[in-house]
Amino acid sequence: MKNSEVLALKDKLLNPKRGDNYDTWFYLDGWRLCEITVGNKRATVKAKHSRQKPVTYNRKEFEKQLNTLYWYAARCDASRVEYNQTGNYKRKKGWERDYA
């Protein structure tokens, strides 16, 4: 999974709108590049390079999944940045403000 690609889609992940259609990394039996389509009541996730059937989510459940995906990528990126600066993986206090 590429954290920078996920973080670049911040607006679409934290605020999904009806009619959004984009590709990002998503966890479907492992991290896969997926095509995500958001509808009015449902959202579908289809793996790009797999014969797996599309997975349908309830809209509210899917918003929670996307929120979790974004904050996971943000935590990993904050730890990586801190390690590059100090050599320690512990994130600094208030790291969430940089990603909110």
Amino acid letter for position 94: G
> Which among 87, 72, 98 is positioned nearest to 3, based on CA atoms?
72
Residue-wise pLDDT for 50-70, tens only, equals 888 999 999 999 999 999 989
Residue pLDDT, tens place only, 28-54: 888 889 999 999 999 999 999 888 899
Q: Residue ranges per domain, the chain? A: 3-85
Look up the pTM and report it: 0.83
Distance of CA 26 to CAs 20, 42, 67, 86, 92, Å? Answer: 16, 17, 12, 30, 27
What is the average pLDDT across 1-20?
84
